[in-house]
Amino acid sequence: MSEPIAIIAGRGALPGLVADTLRARGTGCTVVAIAGFAPEGVAADATLQIERLVPFLQDLVARGIHRVLFAGALQRPRLDPSLFDPATAAEVPRLLPLLQAGDDALLRGVIGLFEDSGIRVLGLADVAPELIPGAGVLGRHQPDTGARADAERAAAIVGALGALDIGQGAVVAGGLCLALESLPGTDAMLEFVVRSGGVQKLAGRAPRGVLYKAPKPDQDRRVDLPAIGPDTVSAAARAGLAGIVFAAGGAVVLERARTVEAADAAGLFLWSRGR
Amino acid sequence: MSEPIAIIAGRGALPGLVADTLRARGTGCTVVAIAGFAPEGVAADATLQIERLVPFLQDLVARGIHRVLFAGALQRPRLDPSLFDPATAAEVPRLLPLLQAGDDALLRGVIGLFEDSGIRVLGLADVAPELIPGAGVLGRHQPDTGARADAERAAAIVGALGALDIGQGAVVAGGLCLALESLPGTDAMLEFVVRSGGVQKLAGRAPRGVLYKAPKPDQDRRVDLPAIGPDTVSAAARAGLAGIVFAAGGAVVLERARTVEAADAAGLFLWSRGR
């Protein structure tokens, strides 16, 4: 039996899924909630107050935990200056400029702090590669030629955005870019498409168009992979899209059976797109 | 007295402003509405049915009009195949791929049709350069260091978006990109920031952040320049922003006195940013 793993729990169903997967395999795990953000569907064994990160890491090592996994979307915490311990406070000057940069830069800084403490940061691909589909169409609906062209344009757009360390998604229909992902995330972007009148009004054609998701070109793939789940499918259906495309090997599909079933029922394709 | 100019009227106050400016100067002008989109605050002298563009252009030339000006944001028309005349229908194969590309490509194609008919397409800079501010701060509020840094990041983002022929705007606060402009336009983007909780919630700081507007790097500056007006100021204020920045020489300020007054009253800066 391998050494236990600490799961730093972000938003969504992923932390619980990973904990179940690891435990079923006999790997011990400690679920760590981030103070202020309760995990969904899984009990937290410990809470991390970011302002006391350094003693927290020392405590993990003292308990024989040398591996952590970040699971689920992380939110930017509001830091309370009065809560810092001296050791973490000493790291603030190093992290401060990163708080004003994009997510990648900030996460790289945080990973650096873990590694400096002798803790290895694992990626989801290390512990549960089955959650990251390879290339192929997952459900029974296939993308047509128009959807393939939209996916190609969206991939170029998301790649350019990602190079600027913003957004991991876009909505493209009939070659037109209807929405771009920024800080508020994918759900907010899809809601924006619905509020703007949906694909029909914006692109002026029959229902079509794609949601495209991919990691940023330079991001550390151990953290913050884009995730697709049943909720993504219903939001994409509400927006009037023809399907969901994501970069093969670069996105997590949560509850794959339910997600595929939802897409099949809604008439949407689910395409894990290779290069 | 110079030859008359046809003004192709898009959305907003600009077509009326330009018509008034030209007439005050003694230049005759014909305001042309696009079928399906009534101009605001100005009477149309003629209506252009896009499906009959070629005969319309021939008629302009027959009436001694050899110059046109596109004023105001253009919307993508829904074309009705049954309305095409044979000469315009013959141009469709050339325009069809452009309808599925970004705005720049489409507008370049449309400008090409005008020029092929012997009509010169003017830019606003040719007829009313006073509407396009040079570098400087327009009102009484000044951008601070943080706002200048946000403007710089926003300019990089909008430049990258523009190179892909999408969006002319972004909202950046404390270095974080809160929203990106796509097909639905600036108002929809600012409304998105409000709905997402505004700058305070997203960036987690005191009110700050900028709306940045600039033309796309490769766009033809004779059409579709970004425009700022009193409504932009109130939308930016609702979103909790500190000010509005636009590329000097690349954006139109409508009703400048009212716009500056509104910004001054709302505590927002209005900065025409040079390089």
A180·B163 Cβ contact <8 A:
no
CB contact under 8 A, B157 and A166: yes
Cβ-contact A63, A104 below 8 angstroms:
no
pLDDT at B119: 96
ipTM confidence? 0.82
Interface test with B, best of A76, A145, A166 (most B CBs within 10 A): A166
Distance from CA of A93 to the nearest CA of B (A): 17
pTM given for the model: 0.87
Mean pLDDT of B136-160: 96
Is B76 within 8 Å of chain A by CB?
Answer: yes
Mean pLDDT across B120-140: 95
Contacts with B177 (C-beta within 8 Å, 6 or more apart), sequence order? A102, A164, A166, A167, A182, A183, B153, B154, B157, B170, B171
Dihedral sign for Cα atoms in the order A227, A230, A236, A238: negative
Chain B residues in contact with A164 (beta carbon < 8 A): 156-157, 160, 177
What is the rounded average pLDDT for all residues in chain B? 90
- Cα B60 from Cα B119, distance rounded (Å): 9
Report helix angle B186-195 to B230-238, nearest 10. Answer: 20
Q: Whole-angstrom Cα distance, residue A219 to residue A148? A: 25
Q: Which residue has the higher pLDDT, B75 or A265?
A: A265
Q: What is the nearest CA distance from B275 to chain A, expressed in angstroms?
A: 20
- Which 3-state string (H, E, C) describes chain B? CCCCEEEEECECCHHHHHHHHHHHCCCCEEEEEECCECCCCCCCCEEECHHHHHHHHHHHHHCCCCEEEEECECCCCCCCHHHCCHHHHCCHHHHHHHHCCCHHHHHHHHHHHHHHCCCEEECHHHHCHHHCCCCEECCCCCCCHHHHHHHHHHHHHHHHHHHCCCCCEEEEECCEEEEECCCCCHHHHHHHHHHCCHHHHHHCCCCCCEEEECCCCCCCCCCCCCEECHHHHHHHHHCCCCEEEEECCCCEECCHHHHHHHHHHHCCEEEEECC
- For chain A, say whether B182 makes contact (Cβ under 8 Å): yes
pLDDT category, B204, cuts 50, 70, 90?
A: low
Q: Render pLDDT for B242-266 as a digit per residue (tens, 0 to 9).
A: 999 999 999 999 999 999 999 999 9
Among A182, A193, A210, pick the best mutation site for testing chain B contact (most B Cβ within 10 A).
A182
pLDDT surpassing 80 at residue A207:
no
B32 touching chain A per CB within 8 A: no
Residue of A nearest to B146 (CA): A100
Residue A95 pLDDT > 80, yes or no?
Answer: no
Identify the pLDDT of residue A100. 66
Q: Nearest by CB to B183, which of A102, A176, A181?
A: A176
Give tens-digit pLDDT for A137-196: 999 999 999 999 999 999 999 999 999 888 899 999 988 899 999 988 899 999 999 998
Q: Tell me which chain A residue has its CA closest to the CA of residue B154.
A: A164
Placement of tokens 């909790």 in the chain: B240
Per-window interface: B 237-266 vs A, CB < 8 A? none
